[in-house]
Amino acid sequence: MLRPLAYRMRPRKIEDVIGQPQLIGPGKIITRMVKSRVLSSMILYGPPGTGKTSIAEAIAGSTKYPFRSLNAANDTKKDLEAMAKYAHKVGTIVLFIDEIHRMNKSDQDYLLSLTEDGHVILIGATTENPYLNINPAIRSRVQIFQVHPLTAKDIKVAVDRALKDQQNGLGKYPVKMDSDAEDFLCQRANGDARVALNALELAVKSTDKDKNGKIHVKLSDMEECLQQKAFTVDKGGDAHYDLISAMQKSIRGSDVDAALYYVARLINGGDLDSICRRLSVIPYEDIGLANPEACIFTTEAIRAALHLGLPEGRIPIADAVIILCLSQKSNSGMNALDHAITSIRKGHLGHIPEDLKDTHYKGAHQLGHGLHYKYPHDYPHDWVKQQYLPTQLTNEQFYRPKANGDEANFKKQYYRLLIAEGKTPKDKTWKKWLF
């Protein structure tokens, strides 16, 4: 039986894995594990076609450990038991379990013992959030690594490699692929190498040779194999990310028509997931405190769009984009937290005031914790003056409020509280906001 191209082209060594530079590359965690042959069990979490199985096989291939795989959707506890027996027989194996989130509790409990005795190095793969779908006991015994969709450039590496490989790939076929056809394939695979390689194989094997004996793969051929129509793509392979960037910058710049145009380009390509991912952050990054209700509305619109899918999912997306464009803008919340993070990284640390420390255990008061804490709800207006910041940082003001939309009210309240605490707002115009 001839396996699909995507299966045949799976890497055998860790250095052949495509993409995932945050995990695989010089000095990165999985590379270090393989180099030292000190492997720990792990769960790889990410979308389909991003190389989770390939990473597992490459780890086993590079470390020379026997590799076995199961699918939690089909295999049973008996299969797990058989793997355990085999592992004890040979010493140590890499056991890959696809769709690990679909394991029932009994099987997950049995898996615990396998990960603890050193005979099984577990590599689980899941498209579902492991923090919500995997037994906490297993999570505590594995490292969780998130894998990301491959870029168009990553896909191109996989395509070029398959076209040249004469043993496992299509190197024996006299293929001539037009550059726009390859660009289209790499872009429209949506970060899924499996989709790209299998479409490539279909295109090559279903195209007749021309008069020169070449299998000439054109854009129209690739459109048919992917069942998608092309739109203009950047020859450098970055059009997808340029569209996402243009969408966000148009929303940030309050240009409704431009934002809708770029969203339409993405919708036309069936890329609802990328739109929703970016729309998840835009309300908080660019609108923020100026219109908190827009953040809530967008979250609900995303949920509805993903539930509906295309084409109906475009409707809540359209409403959310228009609201975000026409909302007043503020990034002061993000900036405030970044300011605090920068301060900490510069070594501006301090001790938590004694009155703020936890008192939910016997002996806390003997340590002086919480002795003079004032409960704000016991005071008028639910506020009372007391120290919250460490003594070394009492004059810090990380938040720099803006005056757009709803944030103008937050700005007034923030300055009133600073004055009540005996501090002077760093904004030189603060007085006009109070009087």
Ordered by start, the domain boundaries in the chain are 20-146, 152-226, 239-326, 345-433
Distance set, CA 403 to CA 124, 290, 339, 397, 407 (Å): 49, 8, 19, 17, 6
Does residue 386 carry a pLDDT above 90?
A: yes
Predicted local confidence at residue 435, as pLDDT: 65
Query: Which helix or strand (DSSP H or E) is residue 98 part of?
Result: strand 93-98
Instruction: Tell me if residue 95 falls in helix, strand or coil.
Output: strand
Name the band, by pLDDT with cuts 50, 70 and 90, for residue 1: low
DSSP 3-state assignment of 235? coil
Considering 65-79, 237-251, 306-320, the range whose residues carry the highest mean pLDDT is 306-320
Beta bridge mates, 67: 94
At residue 365 the predicted structure's pLDDT band, cuts being 50, 70 and 90, is confident
Q: Say what the pLDDT of residue 233 is.
A: 39
Tell me what pLDDT residue 129 has: 82
Length of the chain: 435
State the pLDDT at residue 236: 33
Average pLDDT over residues 231-254: 72
Q: What is the pLDDT of residue 32?
A: 93
Q: Measuring CA to CA, which residue among 249, 268, 267 is closest to residue 258?
A: 249
Among 216-225, 231-240, 353-362, 365-374, where is mean pLDDT lowest?
A: 231-240
According to CATH, the superfamily of the domain at 20-146 is: P-loop containing nucleotide triphosphate hydrolases (3.40.50.300)
Comparing CA positions, the residue from 238, 312, 297, 240 lying closest to residue 271 is: 240
Q: Which class is 152-226 in CATH?
A: mainly alpha
Average pLDDT over residues 197-203: 93
Spell out the CATH class of 239-326. mainly alpha
Across the range 45-70, mean pLDDT stands at: 89
- Tell me if 239-326 shares its fold with 345-433: no
**pLDDT confidence bin for 228, thresholds 50/70/90:** low
Q: Is the pLDDT of residue 305 over 70?
A: yes
The pLDDT of 243-257, averaged and rounded, is 94
Say whether pTM exceeds 0.85. Answer: no
More confident residue, 50 or 329: 329
CATH code of 345-433, in short, is 1.10.3710.10
Compute the average pLDDT of residues 255-270: 91
* Six token digits for residue 153: 């450039």
- pLDDT tens-digit series, residues 5-46: 999 999 989 989 999 999 998 899 999 999 998 888 999 998
